[in-house]
Structures are given as C-alpha cells and as structure tokens.
Amino acid sequence: MSLDANEARRMLQWLADAGADEALVDEPVDRYAVANRPMMEVPVAAPSTRTNELSPQRVSPAPPPLPLRQAPAQPITAATATARELAAACHSLEELRAAVEAFEGCALKTTAKSTVFSAGPADAPVMLIGEGPGRDEDLEGLPFVGRSGRLLDRMLEAVGLSRQTNAYITNVIFWRPPGNRPPTAEEVAMCAPFLLRHIELKAPKVIVLLGATPLKHVLNAAEGITRARGRWGLYASAGVEIPALPTFHPAYLLRTPSAKRQAWQDLLSLKLKLREIGAA
C-alpha cells in the first residue's frame, strides 16, 4: 500500500492520538496483511535472538461474531403507525428526507432547530449510524460536525474514508433531545421506521454502529458496546444481509482517550472487510 507524505502524516498523527507511540519490533509489520491471513497459514518463525520480536503465535484471532437476532419489536402507537406508512411510501432517499422533515409525530421536533437527516454521497459503500444530533449538529443541520465529528473525520481519513467520497453518516433519531440527553425508547420507536427504511434505501455494503444506541436498535444486541465492539454482526432485512460493525462513539473516545486503541483495531477490521467484499 503506497501513501503520499500528507496521508502518512495523518495516519501517524491518528496513531499517536490513539496511544500507539512506541515501537515494539525492529522491522515494520503490515497489520492488514497479518490480520487478513488465516491463522493456519501463518508460518512458524525461526527462534530469534531479539526477545521483543513479534512471533506469529502472538497474532490473536478475530473476535467471535455477534449472534444473529431479529430486529427489535417497536410499540405500535398512532405516531409509529404514521411513521411506518410514510416510510413505506418512500422510494428514494430524497423522498425519505422529505417525509422525515414533514413528520410531526415526535415531540423532539418542537424543541430542535433542525432536522438532521444525513451527510455523504448516496452511493457510499459505508453507512455510519450514531445516536442523535447534538448542539452543533442541531445548529448546522448536519450529523457529526462538532468535536466528535472532527474526530470521526480523522478516524475515517486514517483508513481511506471520508464523508465527501465514500462514507454516509446518519443517526438513530433526527432531532436533538433537549440538553443532549439520550433519546427515550418512545422517541427511538417513532424514528425507527424511518431509520430502517433509510438503511433499506441506502443499501450500504457495510454498516458501522457508533455507540450503544444504534447497536441496540439496529442489531437488537443484548451485549453492551464495550463487549460488542469489534465483533461483526449481520443486519438482516427484506432478504438482504449487511455486515455491521459496532464501535465506540467518537464522543466516548473524547472522554476516554485510552479506548482509542480499541477503536483503531475496529477501523483496521473495517478496512479489511471492505477489501474482502471488494468495496475498498
């Protein structure tokens, strides 16, 4: 893999921010190649006089995948029934955006300044799903534009992704909860028909779930994000299965910098998955 000087500097800066600021071996190791090689095919290295040299036996296997579960059942209320009808009638992302902007069934809309629908090209192979808009997102009408958004952009850039070219970003809910509180189950249920139709119409090659809320409401996972992150799951709907990777929300990484090491592992796993399915 060839990198220009600017891209190499950006990747080194991300590694430093993630805490990877110490060399463990004398020679560089292509982690993409090592992680993409089946364990049985890794040759046994000859004994080395350097005690800190990486040996193939220390390469950890991929974590087990998340168990496949049915999508969570949503309570049927007048608002959710209306949302289902509106979402089902949409046949394009533009129609879905208009339907979400016109929807009056969620009380969050009355306190929010903007409807935050998505960012990124419609044909992007990667669809990232966060929790909901914050203050900056509410003001600008775009997802992930504050501090966590800038961190997310740097994370994506480190593995060759960006919202301008090949990454599409949205949230579980489309309006900012007052005080940036977590959305309630009722609020998520009202937006769920739009979210599920959003995934269906977008038809990404890969889904990345940023945090516990999308993990719960997209994959219906029983595990928390700290146990589920890095483990691939499958989003199954209408006969289509889409690989889905849970990882930490960038806002959590800002509060817990030590978790950036694990987030970097997840990014490498995402990069390998895209190569595997021919979407890199």
Q: pLDDT-derived band of residue 78, with 50, 70 and 90 as boundaries? A: confident
The fourth-level CATH superfamily of domain 78-276 is Uracil-DNA glycosylase-like domain (3.40.470.10)
* Average pLDDT, integer, range 43-49: 38
pLDDT in the model for residue 23: 55
* Average pLDDT, integer, range 245-262: 96
Q: How far is CA 121 from CA 46, 118, 204, in A?
A: 49, 9, 11
pLDDT in the model for residue 32: 55
β pairing state of 240-247 and 206-210: parallel
* Percent of the chain whose pLDDT exceeds 90: 65
Mean pLDDT (the chain) is 83
Those residues whose C-beta lies under 8 Å from the C-beta of residue 70, and which sit 6 or more positions away, are 220
Q: How far is CA 199 from CA 145, 182, 184, in A?
A: 21, 22, 21
pTM reported for the whole predicted model: 0.76
* Average pLDDT, integer, range 36-42: 39
Query: pLDDT: is 201 or 17 the higher one?
Result: 201
**Could you read off the pLDDT of 172-205 as tens digits, one per residue?**
999 999 998 999 989 999 999 999 999 999 999 9
Cβ atoms < 10 Å from Cβ of 54? 16
* Average pLDDT, integer, range 35-43: 40
DSSP result, the chain: ----HHHHHHHHHHHHHHT--S--SSS---HHHHHTS-GGGSPPPPP-S-TT---GGGPPPPPPPPPP-PPPP----HHHHHHHHHHHT--SHHHHHHHHHH----THHHH-S-----BS-TT-SEEEEES---HHHHHHTSSS-SHHHHHHHHHHHHTT--TTTTEEEEESSSSPPGGGPPPPHHHHHHHHHHHHHHHHHH--SEEEEESHHHHHHHH--SS-HHHHTT--EEEEETTEEEEEEEE--HHHHHH-GGGHHHHHHHHHHHHHHHHHTT--
Range of lowest pLDDT (2-11, 256-265, 266-275) = 2-11
